[in-house]
Amino acid sequence: MISSDPKVQLFGSAIGTDPGRGRLAGHTVLVLGAGQRDTPAGDPVVGNGRAMCLLFGREGASVACADKDAASAEETARLVRAEGGHAVAITADAGDPDFARALFAEAAEQLGTLTAAVANVGISNGRSLRNESAATWNEVMDVNVRAHMLLVQQGLAVLADGGAMLLISSLASVSPAGRNPAYETSKAALAALCRAGALEGQERGIRVNTIAPGLLDTPMGRAASARSPGRTARPLPFRRQGTAWELAYTALFLICPESSYVNAQTLFMDGGLGSGVGLAPREQ
């Protein structure tokens, strides 16, 4: 996916080759959803959680890499350390209604007071509305909404004054095209949760924002394309999908002091796809 053509917008930051610039020096960041699944096809690619952890580490932060998959969380932490960063791995199940308090406590015990937290978790059951049940609907909501609420709630209580939180939503939050209503509804709910958290966080200067990415070339994205081959057949901005590194740089801006007056926002990081900006594939 590397290209030297500036018209496709694949600069060093988009492929993860740019060096850090100390933008998070002295910060401690928790990333929930720091692991990733194996790449199902093609050359291995980095996922959103791992890219964020690596970038935050490059930028000087100490990173708590949390995931339900303990081995994957540890691999992310190992990669951060291999680049000279400071990272620890924590096992946490976002489906557990009691996960947040223990997660923040362990992260603080290992790294000290946290300055930022990111919720990068989500599941999809792929069911149409007619095939949903109360149980399958609740399973998605427990991870995709309740876990985010618990993370924001605990973050408001224990993050350092002036801290930041970030929720990862999806372009699906404003589109039914994927015919995945539980996922779409859960991601739409994050915008309201973001605003509520931002309002309550102001007394201590804690900001809460949301990123809603479009189509990304990640392990999860490739798995989705394998299930629905038409997913990437539409005209795409710059004739490509986005990368996890591009999401990570967007996240970096939103959790670092550079975005000190950005609050309660949902940023659609989709290249313009949701606005109808796309280009048909070039003829060979």
Residue 245's CATH number: 3.40.50.720
In this prediction, residues 85-111 reach a mean pLDDT of 97
Tell me how long the chain is.
Answer: 284
Count Cα atoms within 13 angstroms, Cβ side, for 169.
27
120 part of a folded domain? yes
Is position 165 within any domain?
yes
Calculate what percentage of the chain has a pLDDT beyond 70: 96
Q: Is the pLDDT of residue 143 over 70?
A: yes
Domain that holds residue 199: 24-267
Whether 7 is in a domain gets the answer no
Q: Which two tokens stand for residue 120?
A: 């990068």
pLDDT for position 221: 81
Would residue 211 count as lying in a domain? yes
Instruction: Assess if residue 173 is contained within a domain.
Output: yes
What pLDDT score does 41 carry?
66
Domain assignment present for residue 207? The answer is yes
Residue 281 within a domain = no
- Residue 262 predicted with pLDDT over 60: yes
| Lowest-pLDDT choice from 99-113, 180-194, 219-233 | 219-233
Coil/strand/helix, residue 28: strand
pLDDT at 219: 84
pLDDT tens-digit readout, 7-43: 788 888 999 999 999 999 999 999 999 999 887 667 7
Total domains, the chain: 1
- The CA distance from 262 to 264, in Å, is 7
Q: Which pLDDT belongs to residue 5?
A: 73
Other beta carbons within 10 Å of 115? 24
Res. 215: pLDDT tops 80: yes
Residue type, 56: F
Establish if 180 belongs to a structural domain. Answer: yes
For residue 224, what pLDDT band results from cuts at 50, 70 and 90? confident
Lowest mean pLDDT among 130-134, 137-141, 236-240: 236-240
pLDDT for residue 282: 72
